[in-house]
Structure 1
Amino acid sequence: MYRERVLLLLLLVLASHVLWAQQHNFRSWTLEQGLPQSQVTAIEQTEDGFLWLATRDGLSRFDGVNFQTYTKQDGLKSHNIAALYEDSHQRLWIGTRDAGVLLYNGKSFQHLGAAQGLVPEQISSITEDPKGRLWLASDQGIYYLSQDRFLQYTSLPKLTFTALAHLPDGSLWAGTKNNGLYQVRGDKVTHFTTANSALPHNTITALHAGEGGNLWIGTAAGLAGKSPDGKLRKVPLPNNLQGPHITSFISDRHHNLWIGLQRKGLLKYNGKEFTHFTRQNGLRTPRIASLHTDKEGNLWIGTNGYGLQQYKAPWFVHYFNLGDIQEPRVTAISSSTANTLWLGTDEGDLATLKNGELHLQPTPPWPKGTTLYYIGTGQGNEKWVCSSDGAWLLKGGASLHYSTGQGMPSSEVFHCTTDSSGTTWFATANGVAYFKNGTIGQLPGPEVEDEKANCVYRDSRNRLWAGTQAGIYRIKNGRLVTPPTLEAASVKEVGSITEDSKGNLYFACFNQGVLVLTGDSARLFTLADGLPSESVKTLFADRYENLWVATSRNVLKVRLPPLRQRQQLLYRSYASQNGFRGMEVCDHAITQTADGSVWFGTAKGLTQYNPSLDRPNKKPPELLLSNVMLYSKPTDWESLGYHTDSATGLPENLRLPHTQNHLSFDFHAICYSGPEQVRYKYRLAGLEKQWSPETEQSFTTYSNLSPGTYTFELLAQNNDGYWTAEPLTYTFSIVPPIWRREWFVGVLLLIVAGAVLGVVRLRERSLVKMNSLLEMRVHHRTRLLERKNREKEMLLQEIHHRVKNNLQIVISMLNLQARYVDDDASLDVMRAIRSRVRSMSILHERLYRHSDLEEIDLEEYFLEICDSLYASYGVSAERVALEMELPRIKVNIDSAITLGLIVNELVSNTLKYAFPNDEKGLLRIELKQHDEVQYTLTVSDNGRGLPDDFNQIQHQSFGLKLVSSLSKKLGGHIKFYNQDGTKSILYFVLAP
C-alpha cells in the first residue's frame, strides 16, 4: 500500500503538461466536389441565396450541394476573376485580372470595357457608395460608374489601387499596392504612409468598414485601424503573428471581426482578444485568400490552393488528441468546484484540464488498458475512479484499490455516489455495493443479488436511487425497493439518472425512452411523444434549464420549462451534420464546468459546448425549382416549342396536351448550415388539398393528370426546424382534347340547341293546333254544362217553390181549422204548429228567391222568422225590441232548418211568456263562432224569467223537448239560465 501511495505522489508531481489543439467545425470543398479551381479569390452571396465563388479558372455558383461553373462558353470574357460584388439593384459585378469588369443580370453576362470608358483591364476591388454609385479599384486608378459609363476619379493619382471602402461620413478610402492609403473627404485628400502614420506597411491589401465609423486596414505586414476620430493606430496581433500579410476582412452578425492571413491562418477578434485558427484547429491550409459570411451566419473561407471551407457551429469545440493519444475514447468525465475537468479513457489514461491546459498523468495506479467508467467526488478532496478493475480511491498522494478481493461484488464498477453520511454507493456488474468506514458491503437485491446495476444517484432530498437492468429502485434501510409510483412504468435497463432545479427526476431507459418523475406522477416519453430515438444512454440536466439526452445517434438539448409545464418535448438535435463530431457519447460522460460549458466524453475524444455561442438558424431556406421533366426524363423544352426562362431553364406559361400528362419536378432548398437536414413538403393545387408528409427527397412525380390548371407548391425546412413562410409556386396547364375544348363544346351546344329549337318550334305548332281544337271542345262542353246547370237550378227553384206552396197550404189549413177550435190550449197548439211550418216555409221561399241554392244567410233567415212570430202573436217591435248579432256566415239547408226551428220555439216562448200584461222588453239573438266548427247561439230577454216549476214544465212541454232533440241533431246541447230574464244558450257544431 505504501508503494502505491508513493507512485501516485510521483504521478501527480511528474504530470506532464500536454499541448493539445482545439478542433473547430470546418467543412471543405475541393475540385473533387465540383469546384473549378483550388484558388478561391472572392466570395459573394447574392439576394437569391446563391454563393458565388471567384477562381482563376472561371466563376462558380454554389447552392450548398452542387457547383455550377461559368466559363467563356457561357459569356465570360476571362476565367481569371479577382473581385465580386452585388449592388443595391441585385446585379452581380465581376472584376477580372485581365479583361475589365463583367455584369451578370441574372440571365447573361455583359462585358464592360473601353467602349464604356473603362480603360484598365485589371480590377481588384468593387464597392458601392451610400448614394448607390459603383466604384472600381484598378491598376490605372479609381473609376466610378455614371449613367452607364465609367469615369476616372481624378482626385486620386493614377496608381495601382488594391482596395476600396466607403464610410458613413461620406469619405472614400483607397489602398494602393505600394503607396500607402488615401482618404478623400469632400475636396480634401489625405495620404497616409508608414512615414507619416501608424501604417505597418505601404502595401494595402484589404479595407473593411466596421461598425461605428471604424475602418480596418490590412497591409502586407500587419493590421491597422482608424477610429471615428480619424486617427490611425497599429493594432497589435498575437505574439506569434508579428507582421503577417493580411488578405481579407469580414464581420459576422455577432460583431466579430475575421481576418484572413496569407500564410498564417485565420484570426477572430471579438473586440477584446484574438482567437487564432490554423491547421491544428481544423483549417485545411493557413493560406487564406478571401472571406465572406452568409445570411445564416456561417463563415466562408476561400483558400489559396485548397478550395473552399466553411466554418459553422462555433458552439462546439473538439479535442481529438490527448498528447500523442489519437482520438481517445473518453469514457469518464467529471468537474470539480475548482473548475478542473477530470478525464478518463477506455485505455486507462487519466488527465486533468484547467484554464485551458491539459495535464496527462504519465503512470496512473491501475494497469494499462483499464477502462475508466466514472470519476466521482468523495469526502473532501477524495476522488473515486470506477473502472473495469474495481474502484480506486485517490486521496491526497495515495491510492486505495477495492475489487472482489476487498468485498466488491464485481470488478466491473460503473458508477458511484456519496451520500450525506459519507457512505459511498457503487453500481457494479453484480448489484449495488457500499463503502463505509473502510469496509465494502453488498446490498441485497429485490430478486437476485447479482443483478447488474448501471448507476446510483443521490437527489436533492438525499434519497438514493439505483438504475439497473431490471428497472428503478430506491435504496432504503439497506435494501433495494421498488417505489410504488414507478411500479406501473415497467421500465428496464436504466442507465442514467439526473435531476433538474425543481427536484424532478429523469431516468434514461434504453430502447424505451425517458421516464420523468414529477412528485408522485411518472410519465414515459417515447417516439409517440416526439422523441427522435428511444435508445437513450445518458442524461444530464444543466444549470440553464436544459436536459441533455445522449442517444445512440445524436445528442438532444431539451428545454425543461415546456417539458414540465406542458409535457411538451422542444429540443435541438446535434449530430455530425450540425457540429457535434464526437460520434457517440459514452455512459455518464456529460458534465458542466463553472464557466457554463457542457463537456461530453465521446468515442472520438472530448467535445466542449459553449452555450453563449449557440444560436439557432432562423433563416428559412431559399427555394429553387431546378427542373421540370416529362415522363421522368430530361426534357428539351425549347425543341418542343416552349419558351424557357434564361435564368432557370424552366418553360414559361407551360400548356401541355392531354397526352403529355406525366410530370416530374426536381427542386432544391439552399441551406448552408445543414443541407443534409433540409426537409420538404409539397402539393399540387388543383389535385391535392393536403400537403405531403415531410421528406428529404428533392423530387416528385405526378402521372395521369386530368385536363386543368395546376400549381405546384413547395415548402422547405432548414436544419433548425424553420419553414419557409410562403411556398414556391409553379403553374402549368394540361389542355383538354378537342372534344373537351370550350370552343368545341360551345359549337356542339349551338348545334344541339338549334336542333332542339327546331324540334320545339315544330312541337309548338302541333300543340297550337291541338290547343285550338281542345278549346273548341271545351267551349262546347262548357256551354252544355252551363245549360244543364241552369236547368238544374230552375228545377231546384221549382222544387223549393212547390214545397213552399205546399207548406203555405198546410198553414192555410191550420188557419181554417183554428177558426173552429174554441179551446185555448188547442188553439195554442195550432198556433205553434203553424209557426213551425212557417219557419220552414220561409226557408224554402228564400231558396226559391235567391240564386244560391246550397247555403242560407242566417241573419236574414232569423229576421224573417222573428217578423212572422211578432205578427202571429201581435207583438210590436216598439213593445219588445229585437236585437240581433250574427256573424256573416252561411250554412247548409239541413242545419238552417234545424236552427230555424230552435229559434222559432225560443222566440215563441219569449213572446208568449216573458212580457205579460203588455210589458215592454228586449229580445236578443246572438251567434258566436269559437273555432272552425264550434258555435254558441244565445236567445235572451229581460222579461219575467223562468217560472219556479221550469224543470217540470220542461219535461212536459213539446216545444222544449223539440228544442232538445234538435240540439242533439247539431251535435250539441242547450242550457237555460234565469238571469235578469231568460237566457237560452245552445252549444252546437257546424261541420265545414
Structure 2
Amino acid sequence: CADKKGNIWIGTSTHGIFRYDGKTVVNISKTSNIGEVEARCIFSDSKGNVWIGTTKGITKFDGSFHPISIPGCENIRAIFEDKLGNIWIGTRGRGVFIYDGKDWKQLNSQNGLNNDNAYSFVQDKKGKLWIGTGGGVFVYSDGKINKHYSVNEGLCNSYAGSMVIDKFGTIWVGTDNCVARFDGNKFLSITTKEGLTSGTVYLINTDNFGNIWVGTNKGLDRIALTEKGEIESIRNYGKDEGFKGIECNSRATCIDLEGCLWFGTIKGAIKFDPKEELVRKPEMPILNITDIKLFYDAVEWQKHSDTLSQWYALPSELKLAHDENHLTFYFSGISKTLPENIRYSFKLEGFDKDWSPYDELSSTTYSNLPPGKYRFLVKASTKAGIESEAPAEFSFEIKAPFWTSWWFLLLCVIGLCGAIYVYNEYRKRKHELYLERLEKIIKQRTAEIVKQRDENEILLKEVHHRVKNNLQIINSLINIQSDYVNDPKASELFREIRNRIRTISLVHEKLYKSTDYGNINVKEYVNMLVENLIDTYSINKEISLKLDLEVQHFNLNTIIPLGLLLNEVISNSFKYAFNEIEDGLIEIELHKSNVSDEYTIIIGDNGKGYDQKLLDSENSTLGLELIKILATQLNGTIERIEKEGTYYILKFKPLKD
C-alpha cells in the first residue's frame, strides 16, 4: 500500500515486509521487531497508521510496530477503513471483525454472513459497505446485512476476491471466472469473449483517469470507460508490452500519491504511470497481400494480365472465367516492435457483409464465388490495437458464363417462343384432324342409329298394330259368343271382359299412333277409356268427366294396370251410380308427392253409391277383388273414401320399364 508520506509498503510470503521511499528499499522485518511474517495485506488509514495483516494476526504501525490482540482474529485477507473511521478486517475462516476505535465486533455466518471467508471491502456513495466473500457479495448498512448477491443475481462465480468502485459509483468485482460489473440491479459478466486475457482475476483497481485495471493469471488488462461509464475498449498488457510479471498476486495493488499504479506479481512489484505508455508507441504494421492461389495451386498470373505488381507479381484488373471461382489469399503484416503479435481481419466486398474477427491466420479461402466484381480487403493489428494505416486490397472480376448473357437469354426466349408456336400449331392441326375423324365417325354412327331407330319404330308400330288387331279379334269373338248367351249375368260378364280387353287395346292403339313409345299421355288415354265405356253401357244421360291430372305421362308397365283399375271403377259407376240421376259426374285426380316418388289418384262419381246387396253379389265381389289385385301390382293400396257418391283413393309407385 501507499502511506501518507508516499512510502510504498510491500508484503511478501517468505521475506517479511519491505518499504520503498522512492529511492531505497528497506526490509522492515530485519530492522524492527515485527519479524519475517507472511504478510497477506497492508493498509494505510486516514490517520497515517499502517495496518499489516498476516497469517498470525494484525500489526499496527504508528511510528513503531504494535501487535493487535484480537481473540480468534488470524489469517487476515483484507483491511479497510470506512467513512466513519471504523476498521474492517476480513479473515479466512473467521468472518469479519469491525473496530470502532474502542471495541471489536465480529460478523460471521452466525449473524448475517453465509460464508466466513472475507476477501475484500468497498463503500458506496450511500455509505453502504460491500463485503466480498467466498459465497458472494454482501451489503451491510444500518448495523446489519441487508442484501446478498450470488450467482443468481449475475455473479459468474461466488468467489468475490477483489472489489473496486469507479468514479461513476459502479462496483466492479473480480472472481475466478470473470469481472462482474454491477448495473444497479444485477451483475453483468466481462470475460475473455469481451477481451480479457483470462477469467481468473486476482486483483482489480482504478486509476485517476477512470480506467479499470484487472490483474489475472495471464497478464494485465485495462478497461477504458466512456464519459457515461460504459465500456469503451479493453487493452491487454503482457511481457511484450513491458508487464514482465505476467501472473498477478491476490489484491496486490495500490495507487500512490503521484497517481502511479503498483501491481504485485509472482516476479516482483511493478510500477506503472497511466500517463505514459509501458513501452514506446509501436509502429503501425506494414501489410501486403503476398500471393493468390487458384484451387490451392500456384498460378502464373502473367498469363492472365499484362500488368503485375512490383513485389509479389500479382495481376491487376484480373478477370477470371466463371469456373475459376476458388481463390486463396495470402497476406503478411510486419511490425518492427511486436512482430509476433500481428492479427488480421479481412473482408471480400461483393460477398461479405462485415469484416471477419481478428485472427492470427494469414490466409483465407473463398470457394464457389458467383460471377461479379470483387475487392478483397485485409487489415492488420497488434494486440495493443495498433492497426495498419490502410487495408491492403486486391480487385478482380469473375465473368459470367455465356448462357447468362442477355443475347443468349434473348435467343433462348426466341427459341422457346418458336418451339411453343410450332408445338401449338402441331397440336392444333392434330386436334383438327381428330375432330374431322370424330365428326366422320359421329355422322356414320348417327346414320346407323337413325336407320336402326327407324327400323325399330316400324317394327314396334307393327307389333303394337298386330297386338291391337289381335285384341280386337278376341273382342269380336267374345262379342259374337255373347250373342248366344241368354243368361243376363253371363252377358254382363262377357261385357266386362270386352271392356277390359278394350282397355288394353287402347294402350297399344295410342303407342301405335305415338312417336314416344316409352310413355302414354294419361289425359288422352283416360278420355278415350271413358268414351269407350259410355259407348259400351249406352247411357243416355249427360255424363261429365272432370280431370285434374298433374302427371302427363306413364310408361307401358304402369299405364296398363292403372287403365284396368280405372276401367273397373268407372264401369261400376256406369252400372250402378247414375240410375236415379240425369246428370252424372266422374272425377279423376292424379297428384305426385312432393317428398317421395309416390302418386295419389282419386276416382269416383256423384251417383247414389253402391247398394249393399250389389256389393255382396258375386259380380261385384269379383270386380272389387280385381281392383285390389291391380292396386297391389302397382305397389300401392286402395281404399274407399266416405263421401257422397262412390270414391276411391289409390296410392302407388310407378313400375319401372
Match of 1:896 in 2: 555
| d(CA) in 1 for partners of 2:305, 2:57 | 78
* Match among 466, 470, 488 for residue 805 of structure 1: 466
1:709 aligns with 2:362: no
- Whether the aligned pair in 2 keeps the contact of 1:485 and 1:522 (CA below 8 Å) is no
* Match among 120, 124, 143 for residue 455 of structure 1: 120
Structure-to-structure mapping, 1:323-334, within 5 angstroms? none
| d(CA) in 2 for partners of 1:461, 1:861 | 117
Shift of 1:415: 1.8
- TM-score, structure 1 length as denominator? 0.40
Q: Which amino acid aligns with 1:642?
A: S
Q: Tell me how large the CA RMSD over aligned residues is.
A: 7.4
| d(CA) in 2 for partners of 1:461, 1:974 | 114
- CA deviations 1:98-139 (Å, max 9, x no partner) are xxxxxxxxxxxxxxxxxxxxxxxxxxxxxxxxxxxxxxxxxx
Match of 2:615 in 1: none
Match of 2:280 in 1: none
Match of 2:361 in 1: 697
1:845 aligns with 2:512: yes
Match of 1:868 in 2: 528
Q: Which amino acid aligns with 1:663?
A: L
| d(CA) in 1 for partners of 2:544, 2:464 | 34
Structure-to-structure mapping, 1:4-43, within 5 angstroms? none
- CA deviations 1:583-623 (Å, max 9, x no partner) are 777644688999xx99784764235499xxxxxxxxxx9x9
* Match among 478, 489, 496 for residue 162 of structure 2: 496
| d(CA) in 2 for partners of 1:635, 1:383 | 73
Larger Rg: 2
* Match among 956, 959, 972 for residue 627 of structure 2: 959
- Whether the aligned pair in 1 keeps the contact of 2:586 and 2:605 (CA below 8 Å) is yes
State the aligned residue count.
Answer: 557
Q: Which amino acid aligns with 1:416?
A: I
* Match among 546, 565, 588 for residue 880 of structure 1: 546
Structure-to-structure mapping, 1:255-266, within 5 angstroms? none
Shift of 1:813: 3.1
| d(CA) in 2 for partners of 1:350, 1:976 | 141
* Match among 315, 340, 346 for residue 680 of structure 1: 346
* Match among 89, 106, 126 for residue 426 of structure 1: 89
Structure-to-structure mapping, 1:333-344, within 5 angstroms? none
Q: 1:721 to 1:734 in 2, by over 3 A?
A: farther
Shift of 1:982: 8.4
- Whether the aligned pair in 2 keeps the contact of 1:843 and 1:897 (CA below 8 Å) is no
Q: 1:556 to 1:967 in 2, by over 3 A?
A: farther
Q: 1:632 to 1:792 in 2, by over 3 A?
A: closer
| d(CA) in 2 for partners of 1:441, 1:808 | 140
Structure-to-structure mapping, 1:684-763, within 5 angstroms? 695-701=359-365, 709=371, 730-733=396-399
Q: Which amino acid aligns with 1:655?
A: L
Q: 1:553 to 1:486 in 2, by over 3 A?
A: same
* Match among 291, 295, 305 for residue 642 of structure 1: 305
Structure-to-structure mapping, 1:224-239, within 5 angstroms? none
Which protein has the bigger helix share?
2
| d(CA) in 1 for partners of 2:209, 2:638 | 100
Which protein has the bigger strand share?
1
| d(CA) in 1 for partners of 2:17, 2:193 | 39
Shift of 1:643: 4.1
| d(CA) in 2 for partners of 1:382, 1:780 | 126
Structure-to-structure mapping, 1:537-552, within 5 angstroms? 537-538=202-203, 551=216, 552=218
Shift of 1:843: 7.2
Shift of 1:684: 8.8
Structure-to-structure mapping, 1:1-150, within 5 angstroms? none
| d(CA) in 2 for partners of 1:534, 1:526 | 6
* Match among 329, 332, 339 for residue 665 of structure 1: 329
Q: 1:896 to 1:694 in 2, by over 3 A?
A: farther
Q: Which amino acid aligns with 1:573?
A: I
1:652 aligns with 2:317: yes
Residue identity over aligned pairs, in percent, reads 12
1:606 aligns with 2:272: yes
- CA deviations 1:858-895 (Å, max 9, x no partner) are 5x643443343343455999852445466xxx9xxxx8
| d(CA) in 1 for partners of 2:476, 2:195 | 115
- CA deviations 1:625-679 (Å, max 9, x no partner) are 7753346566553x31524487995442513496x675322469999xx995653
| d(CA) in 2 for partners of 1:500, 1:975 | 115
Shift of 1:798: 1.7
* Match among 133, 137, 144 for residue 467 of structure 1: 133
Shift of 1:732: 1.4
Q: 1:943 to 1:387 in 2, by over 3 A?
A: farther
Structure-to-structure mapping, 1:151-162, within 5 angstroms? none
- CA deviations 1:680-719 (Å, max 9, x no partner) are 355996xx9999887553532357x69x736657677998
1:629 aligns with 2:290: no
- CA deviations 1:128-181 (Å, max 9, x no partner) are xxxxxxxxxxxxxxxxxxxxxxxxxxxxxxxxxxxxxxxxxxxxxxxxxxxxxx
Q: 1:884 to 1:475 in 2, by over 3 A?
A: closer
Q: 1:976 to 1:942 in 2, by over 3 A?
A: closer
- Unaligned runs of 5+ residues in structure 1 are 1-10, 17-321, 323-327, 332-345, 352-358, 564-568, 611-620, 762-766
Q: Which amino acid aligns with 1:862?
A: V
Q: 1:710 to 1:908 in 2, by over 3 A?
A: farther
Q: Which amino acid aligns with 1:869?
A: L
Match of 2:455 in 1: 794
| d(CA) in 2 for partners of 1:589, 1:827 | 145
1:416 aligns with 2:83: no
- Whether the aligned pair in 2 keeps the contact of 1:976 and 1:985 (CA below 8 Å) is no
SS at match of 1:642: coil
Q: Which amino acid aligns with 1:880?
A: K
| d(CA) in 2 for partners of 1:367, 1:586 | 23
| d(CA) in 1 for partners of 2:359, 2:625 | 107
